[in-house]
Structure 1
Amino acid sequence: MKSSSSIRNALFFVAFTLLFFSCQKEVEPSLADQVAGEYTGTYYTVGTTRISLPATNAAGVVATSKISVTKVGDESANFKVTFTLTDKAGKAADSFQTYDGLILKKTTTGEIEGYQGSTKLVTFINGELGVIAPDPTPSKTVVFYGKKN
């Protein structure tokens, strides 16, 4: 009888262990890990005007953008937006907007926002990253949006 009791105890221990580990909550990656990476620009806005990317103007110049996000700490990251204009001959000119050490916060709705002081400069919603280039005149504020590569 001792052996069946030992087997029963061993089975109980295995079942309890499996149940315990299957019920453990999965650890969510840090905020910086969730947003870090390379993004391809999908569109940008100037005030309320939306421009899909890539965009070509009447002169044949093509506009594209990309966003690079580098983790600094669990709740901070560096953001770099590269906006590229390429002419018909293939000559490209880049302009950059960088934000170093933005503090990341998660909202009650699950979005991630990036702040420099009290100024919100980044939004990350449903896999879409938005980086804001603020201007005192709201109609001149530019927001670059991208999806992770």
Structure 2
Amino acid sequence: MTSTDQSKKPVKTTGSKATVAIVLVTSLFFIWGLTMNLVNALNSPFANYMKLDSTQAALLQVAYYGAYFVMAIPAGLIAKRFGCKGGVISGLCLFVLGAFMVVPATNMASYGLFLLAMFVIALGASSLETNCNPYITKLGDEKVNHSV
């Protein structure tokens, strides 16, 4: 009789682990949204600082949003092979790699290297978006029925 009573009680560690996961994934939503908005904000200062014409300045957005086109399907394949957590980890690795590439790009004032860094950051953001959305839906309780 005690075994049935214990099986009905929710395990607190699972709930707290899910809460931590939800908080971390929600922070990732904020991070990639922030970088997406920073791309638009960087266009004008870069154009002024590096004396770029409008076509060259637009390459910043092409590099960023082009990475979404390039990475969406591979990110899905990564999730299929390694699961959503593997996709999130690969996205974070790409994101961090791109962020570290920004440092030498700004030190050398190399617009091409900065474009590459933004492309790599966007590859990571694309992988995060592709994998975090389904991952966060799996974190809820399957038994809870939410009717609309």
Higher Rg: 1
Higher normalized strand content (fraction of residues): 1
The reply to whether TM is greater than 0.5 is no
Q: TM-score, normalization: structure 2?
A: 0.29
Q: TM-score, normalization: structure 1?
A: 0.29
Higher normalized helix content (fraction of residues): 2
Higher relative contact order (CA 8 A, sep 6+): 2
